[in-house]
Amino acid sequence: MKKLKLQNEVFRMFVANYKEWLDILGYAESTVYYLPNHLQEFFYYLEQNHIKNINQISTKTVKEYYNHLQQRVNERRNGGLSKSYLNKHQQALKKFKEYLQNHNHKGINIHLKSEKQPTEEKLNILTQEEVKELFKATNQSHHSQRIQLRDKAMLVVLYSCGLRRNEAVHLDTSDIFFEKERIFVRKGKNYKERFVPINRKNAEILEDYIYEARPQFKEAYLSEALFVSQKGTRMLGMTFANRLKVIVEATDNKNIIDKKITLHTLRHSIATHLLQHEVKLESIKTFLGHSSLESTQIYTHLLKTIENDRI
């Protein structure tokens, strides 16, 4: 329940960091949104029961909270909370325990029986072969070649360069330095600026788009934006997301389609692939524009999870 306001600053910090952890691990957008809200409701319950420190949380505390949820009225419709919703609350606490353990904390005691067999969220990380399929799919992602070239350039920026959606949206043509093989990112998170490297192959893809395809868009010469829409205006984030969906469908690969990837998935994937190639964490931190190494270290855990799934 997002509207519940926490007074405890440490609890608020946990909710924010937990959300970032889920996001970096590549969970679905719905998971990244709802699980922190469920954790916030748990912390609110703790505050109402005068528990100010997570070290005070016991198995009894969690069971009493769960009993409270089972009796709580559903605010959207009559009756109580559904079994599926109760399982989501359980998942939020179990993932929070995992979060704590991955940050050198013993965690919290959670011994709850699921209402039914829950569906575990899967990490939506693409393999390098699947990324190659995305690039290949741009050759049939649209009947117009200018859109195809724009789609391919979009993948370069979001995957090969690891940019966030907002960063890609605000790129200008003047931010691409072909001679230096660098891209200047001016609209980073918290407005942090950085340079991101591009190799020769990716630079050629951007050149094809900028010099061959982009001028074909209506009045594109009037805009400084790197990515322009059919109307010649700066392409918005929703268009990026919609084009990615089309590219995914164009692969005709059920495994890729079932992953329900998002724009951020591309960023998660390149970070994981860099780690697989033993690129130093400090370099990945700079590449992604993270403010702290702790955020980047999450990918170490993600890589272990992926490798364990393959065993």
Sign of CA dihedral 185, 190, 192, 197: negative
Asked if 68 is an active-site residue, the reply is no
- For 159-218, write each residue's pLDDT tens digit: 999 999 889 999 999 999 999 999 999 865 555 789 999 999 999 999 999 999 999 999
Active-site annotation holder among 170, 214, 285, 290: 290
- Provide the residue ranges of all domains of the chain, joining segments of one domain with +: 9-101, 128-310
| CA 41/CA 18 separation, integer angstroms | 14
Can you name the CATH fold of 128-310?
A: hpI Integrase; Chain A (1.10.443)
Q: What pLDDT sits at residue 123?
A: 56
Query: Which one is catalytic: 150, 264, 268, 273?
Result: 264
The C-alpha atoms of residue 131 and residue 125 are separated, in whole angstroms, by 10
3-state secondary structure of 234: strand
The catalytically annotated residue of 122, 189, 245, 304 is 189
Residue 150 CB neighbour total at 10 angstroms: 27
Q: By C-alpha distance, which of 139, 129, 97 is closest to 246?
A: 139
264 is catalytic: yes
Q: Mark the ranges of the chain whose per-residue pLDDT is less than 70.
A: 1-3, 26, 73-80, 106-123, 187-191, 301-302, 304-311
Looking at residue 117, its pLDDT comes to: 41
Dihedral sign computed on CA atoms, order 261, 246, 202, 127: positive
Nearest one of 249, 228, 255 to 240, comparing CA atoms: 228
pLDDT tens per residue across span 109-132: 665 555 444 444 445 789 999 999
Q: Which of 267, 268, 273, 285 is catalytic?
A: 267
pLDDT at residue 107, as a whole number? 65
Please say if 201 is a catalytic residue. no
State the DSSP code for 177: E
Q: Which CATH architecture best describes the domain 9-101? A: Orthogonal Bundle (1.10)
Residue 189 falls in the annotated catalytic set: yes
Question: Residue 217 and residue 226: Cα distance in Å, rounded?
Answer: 12
Quick one: pLDDT at residue 121?
43
Which one from 38, 88, 89, 164 is the annotated catalytic residue?
164
267 is catalytic: yes
User: Is 194 a residue of the active site?
Assistant: no
